């Protein structure tokens, strides 16, 4: 097993996750099997209970793991599936070590950061790397490890020490350290190297030497600036890689390739260069021939909360050569004029009461005005509530989550009495049976699919027959649970309890998203 560790300095939000994912894509394009691990140095066990408006999207993995959004980037860029083992947090590490200590596994030893915490970190990285297989059963040859936070953060110290030990254990040829750092521009447009120098100095103080330095900047790094960085940071000039801001994140691997990342990395890892497969680039750079506008009715107002939805719309748009112009509309502030100007409306997931009535009003507008609509998770549940209120006739229809009224949406039976909120929802992959002859069956080209879930509530079984008698069809089911709905005689009125965005890839687009974007485009043309 070979390891590529990605660290970052100066500031957070530099794009370490995209860099790590891009390195993985470059290696896959050269024929190697790659997996990834993300280290998050927070004390939470996972991201499940973290406020998405502060931390970003909670990405759900196939085994139900609730993880950092960077794992979504890994899955999309590498076209692989990961598990909760591939997201390490300080909380997971310390919980495991303390459990072992209580069990007596350390035979009376004084439990310390070194070696017990660092050994646990290394063991978990190795396990995630060595046990992973792709859908064809191939084991990974290379593992990309991203260390969250920045060098110098006290929270990251045990993880960086574990990385230092791994570097010593594996040695040259099986280990490479990529350090991502900021190159800010002054008023004259010159890139400044001091932040990079200080960042590399902090790395050295921890006993780590960067093999490759990726400079994040607004402009390409000039040869003279590369020489300066190389001189101060003791790396070869060719190992200073320019990573200027790209118009599309999927083009970052290509930008890194152009600046020599593949050649440098393959040499460091003592790998054969091989013939590059550029088919992935041809997909992500496909030109658009049309454009549609989609309004996402949000509860949180932060794009990173819905990053997988945004990317799934992009994937579907690429497949259809249709650029999707996303409008973020606050559920409590938009107007009907805002909706009228759109080609389609998307109602995403979320929790709590805030913004719900605005979402319901948007659903009603779409239903009554033949505007393409796609609802996901909470969006699915609110489609049911809107229909119950305005078509079936239960004016007080609501969700058990929202309070008193006719509960069109009820708590899942297995959620009754659940007190611990972390990791207890209906999470991960579940099979969904799709009704023959439905729009979704046509889009999927199948009557049984697997999709990812994250919810505690369901359509109340007591009202299903009454709802269907009025024209709303539940075309996706998992046993007694309703999973997807459609309305006939509408350009596109589809909603899913599951989250199809989590399985969408540039090269394997999500069927419901393709259907939605196509309906937006076709509806626009009819006008």
d(CA 399, CA 416): 15
Nearest to 507 by CA among 228, 314, 240, 226: 314
CB 432 within 8 A of CB 483: yes
CB 410 within 8 A of CB 455: no
Nearest to 106 by CA among 267, 173, 98, 353: 98
CB 285 within 8 A of CB 317: no
DSSP character string of 200-261: HHHHHHTT---SEEEEEESSPPPHHHHHHHHHHHT--GGGEEEEEPPSSGGGHHHHHHHTTH
Q: Is 111 exposed, middle or buried (0-12, 13-18, 19+ CB in 10 A)?
A: middle
Question: Per the structure block, which two tokens stand in for 430?
Answer: 């579940």
d(CA 407, CA 419): 21
Please state the separation of Cα 520 from the chain's center in Å.
24
Q: How many residues are given for the chain?
A: 527
Task: Just list the catalytic residues.
Answer: 377, 499, 501
Alpha carbon separation from 165 to 171, 198, 261, 343, 356 (Å, rounded) = 10, 23, 25, 55, 50
Supply angle C-alpha 141, 142, 144, rounded to 5.
155
Residue listed under structure tokens 């913004």: 355
Please state the separation of Cα 469 from the chain's center in Å.
38
Contacts of 361 (CB under 8 A, 6+ apart): none
């Amino acid at each position: 097993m070979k390891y590529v560790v990605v660290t970052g300095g100066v500031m957070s939000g530099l794009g370490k996750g995209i860099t790590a994912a891009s390195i993985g894509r470059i290696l896959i394009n050269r024929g190697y099997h790659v997996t990834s691990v993300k280290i998050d140095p927070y004390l939470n066990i996972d991201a499940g209970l973290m406020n998405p408006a502060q931390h970003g999207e909670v990405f759900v993995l196939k085994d139900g793991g609730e993880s950092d959004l960077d794992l979504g980037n890994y899955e999309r860029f590498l076209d692989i599936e990961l598990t909760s083992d591939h997201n390490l947090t300080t909380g997971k590490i310390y919980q495991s070590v303390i459990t072992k200590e209580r069990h007596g596994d350390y035979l009376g030893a004084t439990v310390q950061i070194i070696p017990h915490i660092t050994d646990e970190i290394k063991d978990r990285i190795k396990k995630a790397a060595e046990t992973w297989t792709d859908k064809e059963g191939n084991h990974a040859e290379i593992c990309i490890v991203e260390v969250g936070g920045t060098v110098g953060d006290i929270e990251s110290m045990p993880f960086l020490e574990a990385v230092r030990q791994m570097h010593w254990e594996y040695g040259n040829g099986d280990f490479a350290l990529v350090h991502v750092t900021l190159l800010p521009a002054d008023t004259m447009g010159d890139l400044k190297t001091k932040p990079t120098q200080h960042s590399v100095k902090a790395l050295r103080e921890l006993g780590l030497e960067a093999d490759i330095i990726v400079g994040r900047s607004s402009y390409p790094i000039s040869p003279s600036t590369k020489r300066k960085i190389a001189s101060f940071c003791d790396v070869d000039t060719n190992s200073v890689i320019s990573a200027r801001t790209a118009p599309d994140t999927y083009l970052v691997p290509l930008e890194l390739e152009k600046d020599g990342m593949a050649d440098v990395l393959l040499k460091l890892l003592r790998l054969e260069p091989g013939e590059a497969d550029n088919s992935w680039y041809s997909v992500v750079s496909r030109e658009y021939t049309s454009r549609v506008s989609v309004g996402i009715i949000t509860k949180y107002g932060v794009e990173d909360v819905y990053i997988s939805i945004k990317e799934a719309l992009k994937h579907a748009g690429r497949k259809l050569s249709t650029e999707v112009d996303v409008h973020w509309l606050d559920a409590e502030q938009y107007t009907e004029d805002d909706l009228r100007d759109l080609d389609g409306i998307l109602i995403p997931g979320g929790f709590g009461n805030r913004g719900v009535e605005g979402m319901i009003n948007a659903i009603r507008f779409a239903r009554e005005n033949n505007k393409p609509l796609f609802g996901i998770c909470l969006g699915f549940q609110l489609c049911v509530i809107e229909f119950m209120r305005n078509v079936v006739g239960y004016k007080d229809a609501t969700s058990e989550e929202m309070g008193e009224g006719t509960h069109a949406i009820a708590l899942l039976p297995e959620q009754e009495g659940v007190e611990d909120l972390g990791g207890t929802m209906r999470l991960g992959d579940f099979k969904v049976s799709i009704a023959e002859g439905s729009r979704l069956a046509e889009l999927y080209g199948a009557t049984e699919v697997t999709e990812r879930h994250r919810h505690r509530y369901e359509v109340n079984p007591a009202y299903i027959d009454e709802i269907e008698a009025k024209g709303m069809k539940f075309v996706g089911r998992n046993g007694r649970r309703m999973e997807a709905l459609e309305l006939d005689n509408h350009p596109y009125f589809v909603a899913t309890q599951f989250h199809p965005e989590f399985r969408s890839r540039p090269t394997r687009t999500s069927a419901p998203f393709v259907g939605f974007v196509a309906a937006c485009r076709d509806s626009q043309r009819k006008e």
